[in-house]
Structure 1
Amino acid sequence: MGLMTAFLMPVHYGATVACLDAFEWVMSPHLLLELMDRQRCTHAWLPNFAFNHLVRTKLGNETYALDHVAALINCSEPCKQATFDLFAATFAGHGIRAEQLQVCYAMAETVFAVSQTPLGRRPHTLWIDAGAAAANRIEPVAEGAAGAMPLLSNGPPIDGIVVRIGGGEAIGEIQLRGDCVFAGYLKAPDVTAQAFDDGWYRTGDIGSVIEGEIYVIGRLKDIIIHHGRNYHAHDIESVAGTVPGVKPGRCVALGVWDEEVGSEEVELVAERDPAVAAEDKALRNALRQAIVRRFNLVISKVHLVEPGWLVKTTSGKISRKENLGKLLRDTHRAPAQPGKK
């Protein structure tokens, strides 16, 4: 993302780049908006967690002028409507409008972009039934309906990219072909062969194409298969993060294989928010109820931990693999696999 949007593309177009060290930004997030104001920056590309980070760390006494910004583009991980709503509300007094917040679906295997929402127009949000989605069906429902789940559009494919959904159902793996899709991984023929299906690149992302626009729901490896139904860890975490008493952005949903049940059980690890007084029993119940209301899913176990317990990657994303291993070690359980005792 950074190489293409903040170096090669500006070089090609002769645009000015305003740079900020990533580690400095993590420590002082407000510096980004200060820089965009001072340098009159028009475009910035941020992962979803960065929008949340800017909201959580707002001091309250800042004065930015951001009405000149053409687009703040959300990419690099699943993009959430709730994140945009919160960001727009938090920074409305600084000139931020809903139509400035855009979405790009991108990956290195296509050089960068696969799709982009039209600039100047608020990205479309589709509300669907979460139970139907767990069975790979798309059933539109009204916002606020029981079990309603929002999907934020990633826009139509860019010129030269063709998209299909693998598996023959409404929801499945997003697969691509086109002018800028890579030919394969260097000196890795076996990995390359696994990455393609009859010339179509298998992205490993789960989603749907609706009225010509791409909706990304999650990753294949982030799917939890519970009693034959598919649940996306990102969606569970998004709901859990709204419960008072949970530190925003600091929870992870994990599929833990249960040999006796013969399926993955869903366990949730959530960091307590020290700023909110909440009893553990009440907080666990609130988390379970919130997830049942949205997904009709019963969480097997809720683990409440202290701030800083969860493991993140160097890019600031929650690492499910590392956190699953840590949880199993802390609870004195050995990793289990389907079909193995």
Structure 2
Amino acid sequence: MIPTATGDDLPRRFADFDTLGDALDYAATGKRGLNFHDPRGQLARPYPFRALRDDAIQATYRLIAHGVRPGDRIALVAETGAEFAALFFGAVYAGAWPVPLPLPTSFGGKDSYIDQLAVQLKSSDARILFYPAELAAMASAAAEAQGAEGIDWESFAERPAPAADLPKADPDDIAYLQYSSGSTRFPHGVAVTHRSLLNNLAAHSHGMRLQDSDRCVSWLPWYHDMGLVGCLLSPVANQVSTDYLKTEDFARRPLAWLDLISRNEGTTLSYSPTFGYDICARRMSSQTKASDRFDLSRWRVAGNGADMIRPDVMQSFVDAFADAGFKASSFLPSYGLAEATLAVTIMPPGEGIVVELVEEHLLAGGGEADKNKPQRFRAIVNCGKAVRDMDVEIRDEDAGALPDRAIGKVWCRGPSVMAGYYRDPEATAACMAGGWLDTGDMGYLSDGYLYIVGRAKDMIIINGKNHWPQDIEWAVEQLPGFKAGDIAAFAITTPGGEETPAVLVQCRTSDNEERSRLRTEIRERVRAITGMNCVVELVPPRTLPRTSSGKLSRAKARNLYLSGEIQPYDIAA
């Protein structure tokens, strides 16, 4: 088997299309495409864009014959492979809205996964759920629970595909519906239009200074915005050949990612959250020279995003792989979120990791530093400049603009920012104002560069995966003796720079042994639901702060906890 070409005589177009279908139509006239690899990084299936388009059109015909109409939501379990890609674009050509949904994880179990799928199917009101045959039992149970039709895509591909007239898409039509990977009990679906998508993809390629000789490698999941938009839809719209490892294969053998980059001589682009670089650096044996196995000298853009960027991890990766040709200047920090389609800011290529030291008391909410205590600093990574057509502002709590180097909430505005969450006007109103999006993240601007210092919004992001605090709180509420409002979950940063969830729980018992038992039970419950270890602190009743309307204020609870104003019970370990 021969992989799809890196170079091509087809003149490159940088996502300057009216619709995503138009983008695939054009890419299919060239020689580039997608390439799927086995767990050891060996080529299993080259998939030229031409073949993807042919399969997508056949899928469109089958969908139309099955009664699918424009605007229908078509859910797809996002397994990295040709079947998902063809059905995703088939739904797009049919005018339906593909809805990528996650694969099962190694924690939580069967019931947890069925519940997650069912909640997202309900939120999107999906008509059909497509899935690989090996997930038939769980996926069909979730579909049945929500009155959706469950179909495994292998059997669907065997159905007749009578030719039909395809609907004409408008740039302002919805292209797909994106759920955060952490959306479980409280899902937020972002409806992305063709215009928004292609604007962001063009801005992304412009920010990376995409070259005709570029080739991409990715292991990122296709249900996450960085994996779907950055590493599937962008290669189509910008005509970039891409090589894929499945996410679960990367998890088992992380260094297969670097093997693939080394083996494919044209590879210049690859993205990862911080934890991907971390696990690779840790896997390198101190007795093994990286140059004996890898050649990373052609890796031009080592993108980093999706979670807080840790400079110590980036340095560890450089230390581990410099003798294999990896250059620290290849690192390309970025900042983005699904609500902006993908990219908000990108570091100009070649500038690498730039760090500033910021006083800890400013990161915890400002105010005067305690002069009686030694000053502590945290390294904050520069996440680059706003992508083309995007405006970024830093605002205070009253939405007033702040000057350079003042820490506040990060707001952004541009053609790729969402109009709102699907069927959720309340959540939309909470984060949108006059076309501007309150990202919920905290940061500051310096000479046009954005520095992200943490999250004001409630999202907890660990190892590149989103977790809604409501899910954690709900899990604890199911235990006897607790109720809504007793629990506040948020992210904290350890002294080593890692993020971890903290859970504050109002406890009414005065028995120390019972408190210890409860803390252990809560920790195990959270781990069972989310797969994460967490810090559990029991606090007195009526400790957790409320807003003026009586709602729990997680951001204030976090600040009070970090400042020491909330004092947990002292419980023997």
TM-score (norm 2): 0.41
Q: CA deviation at 1:255?
A: 5.9
Residues 312/333 of structure 1: CA separation in 2 closer, same or farther (3 Å cut): farther
Structure 1 residue aligned with 2:430: 194
Tell me the equivalent position of 2:418.
Answer: 182
Aligned to 2:254: 29
Could you say if the C-alpha distance between residues 207 and 13 of structure 1 is closer, same or farther in structure 2, counting changes exceeding 3 Å?
same
Distance change (3 Å), C-alpha of 1:258 and 1:197 = same
Contact 2:504 2:539 in 1 (8 A): no
Change (3 A) 1:30 1:337: same
Give how far 1:53 is off. Answer: 1.2
How far apart, CA to CA, are the structure 2 residues paired with 1:135 and 1:195? 20
Q: Which residue of 2 aligns with 1:118?
A: 348
Q: Do 1:47 and 1:76's aligned partners in 2 also have CA atoms closer than 8 Å?
A: yes
User: What is the Cα deviation at residue 138 of structure 1?
Assistant: 12
Whether contact under 8 Å (1:46, 1:74) holds in the other structure is yes
Maintained 8 Å contact 1:207/1:217: yes
Separation in 1, partners of 2:542, 2:361 = 29
Residue 504 of structure 2 corresponds to residue 256 of structure 1: yes
Please tell me whether residue 163 in structure 1 is matched to residue 392 in structure 2.
Answer: yes
Distance 1:333 1:51 in 2: 40
Contact kept in structure 2, 1:105 and 1:154, CA below 8 Å: yes
Counterpart of 1:104 in structure 2 is: 334
Distance change in 2, residues 1:65/1:187 (3 Å): same
8 Å contact 2:506–2:542 — kept in the other structure?
Answer: no
The Cα shift of 1:29 comes to 0.5
Alpha-carbon RMSD across the aligned residues, in angstroms, is: 3.5
- Equivalent position amino acid for 1:17 in 2: T
- 2:284 matched to which residue of 1? 58
One-letter identity of the residue aligned with 2:378: M
What's 2:560 paired with? none
Unaligned ranges ≥5, structure 1 = 140-144, 224-231, 242-248, 261-302
Deviation at 1:22, TM superposition (A): 0.4
| 8 Å CA contact 1:128, 1:138 repeated in 2 | no
- For 2:500, the aligned partner's letter is V
Which string of whole-angstrom CA distances, capped at 9 and with x for unpartnered residues, describes residues 21-66 of structure 1? 1011111101000000011321111011111111122245351000
In structure 2, list runs of 5 or more residues that go unmatched. 1-225, 461-489, 509-518, 551-573
Would the alpha carbon gap of residues 149 and 55 (structure 1) be closer, same or farther in structure 2, given more than 3 Å must change?
same
Q: Shift of residue 336 of structure 1?
A: 6.2
Letter in 1 for 2:229: M
Q: CA deviation at 1:199?
A: 2.7
Distance 1:138 1:333 in 2: 28
Q: Is the 8 A contact 2:507 2:540 kept in 1?
A: no
Task: Please give the TM-score of this superposition, normalised by the length of structure 1.
Answer: 0.67
Residue type at the aligned position of 2:257: L
| Distance change >3 Å, CA 176–CA 313, structure 1 → 2 | farther
How far apart, CA to CA, are the structure 2 residues paired with 1:254 and 1:131?
19
Counterpart position of 2:173:
none
- Post-superposition CA distance 1:273-305 (Å, at most 9, x none): xxxxxxxxxxxxxxxxxxxxxxxxxxxxxx99x
State the match for 1:94 in structure 2. 324
Match of 1:172 in 2: 408
Counterpart for residue 47 of structure 1: 273
**8 A contact 1:129–1:138 mirrored in 2:** no
Is 1:338 matched with 2:539? no
Is 1:153 equivalent to 2:378 in the alignment?
Answer: no
| 1:154 aligned counterpart, secondary structure | strand
- Separation in 2 of the partners of 1:130 and 1:175? 23
Tell me the distance in 2 between the aligned counterparts of 1:313 and 1:112: 27
Q: Do 1:123 and 1:155's aligned partners in 2 also have CA atoms closer than 8 Å?
A: no
1:5 matched residue in structure 2? 230
What do residues 255-277 of structure 1 show as CA deviations (whole Å, max 9, x unaligned)? Answer: 636799xxxxxxxxxxxxxxxxx
Q: How far, CA to CA, are the matches of 1:80 and 1:189 in structure 2? A: 35
Query: 2 CA distance for matches of 1:128 and 1:161?
Result: 26
Per mean C-alpha deviation after superposition, the further-off stretch among 4-13 and 209-218 is 4-13
Q: Is the 8 A contact 1:257 1:336 kept in 2?
A: no
Comparing both structures, which one devotes a greater share of its residues to strand?
1
> Counterparts of 1:57 and 1:312 in 2: how far apart (Å)?
27
Kindly provide the CA deviation profile for residues 172-222 of structure 1, in whole angstroms up to 9, marking residues without a partner as x: 211111111111111111111112133311111111111111111111137
Question: In the aligned structure 1, how far is the partner of 2:310 from the partner of 2:260?
Answer: 25
The aligned counterpart of 1:79 is: 309
Provide closer, same or farther for how the CA distance between residues 51 and 138 of structure 1 changes in structure 2, counting only shifts above 3 A. farther
Letter in 2 for 1:338: P
Are 2:506 and 2:540, in contact at CA under 8 Å, matched by a contact in 1?
Answer: no
Counterpart-to-counterpart distance in 2, 1:136 and 1:312: 36
Alpha-carbon distance between aligned partners in 1 of 2:429 and 2:540, rounded to the nearest angstrom: 35
The 1:332/1:151 distance shift into structure 2, 3 A limit, reads: closer
Classify 1:313/1:76 alpha carbon distance in 2 versus 1 (closer, same or farther; 3 Å).
farther
Contact 1:137 1:171 (C-alpha < 8 Å) held by counterparts: no
1:68 paired with 2:298, answer yes
The one-letter amino acid paired with 2:545 is P
Q: 2 CA distance for matches of 1:136 and 1:255?
A: 23
